[in-house]
Structure 1
């Protein structure tokens, strides 16, 4: 994204990077405010992660449109994705009761983060732009967050910490397996060269 390339949009070189950083800032803010442990912050944190998913797709689109893609931008995007879609969904889940599950909650959470790191690293070294291999971490984090919003709307009654969400642990484990799997999906032309 910051690679110097002569083109008519050169003066906008910083725009894709700012969008990438906004992804990270949304995810980090979601992590920071969920630690207040209130229902209002829970909902806001989930919305911030979903907004981060939108910015994650927007930065690649803008970089391609301005002809400003680079290896640096790819690496930066992955690091920001780890915050927003690896760490934030796990920490939100912990504040929704995954911590009540003890060791199984800890292990599954670490596996989810590890699978996300694996998926991002594999994406960064893959040269094939025609296929998506494994479930992207952005989708995994967004799916977990949508599940939390569903829990918020339909399962919470009174105390947020009175839930032992085995269904969230199962979903997190399934998403972890999908991230590290080798299934391939042909990329739509619009998504070529994006994470």
Structure 2
């Protein structure tokens, strides 16, 4: 069986998760729904119980929470081929404390989790991907906690610049500030300082 049987938007996922066979991707394709989500629309809203997960085909997403004062803070971003889910809300059947929102017009492969779970018992490769996804999300959470442990805005921004340049390149300063838990002004100062440092170094 050749890859021509699958839409081209699976190519990135097939490279990212090579353990999954062509037949298994086709099986997954039979239960997914392509959804177009406009900028600002939610994949998952605060207070709603999660029933779906998704792979991002195109676009950008933010995973955000509200602090005690109602201020939005971003805990993670979702890029193409990334996974969108709130497993805690689904497993506990509890209202989500996280909102997952499109940062630009996006396209996703939406999956009803209830339809996906039985496949794990029949296809170990899909179970393996599920475990890999949990590991990826855990690593991202640990990295974010590491960023927040850094005391100054400059240290936090430098860490992001060195470890996650894609975020710096594709995300607005306002949303980067929300991810770093600092003000936009503090982020702008840190960014200008590093630009000046690089300029002086080049001179």
Bigger radius of gyration, 1 or 2? Answer: 2
Q: Does the alignment reach a TM-score above 0.5? A: no
Instruction: Provide TM-score, normalisation by structure 1.
Output: 0.32
Q: Which has the higher strand share?
A: 2
Could you tell me the TM-score, scaled by structure 2's length?
0.31
Structure of higher RCO (CA pairs closer than 8 Å, 6+ residues apart): 1
User: Higher helix fraction: Structure 1 or Structure 2?
Assistant: 1
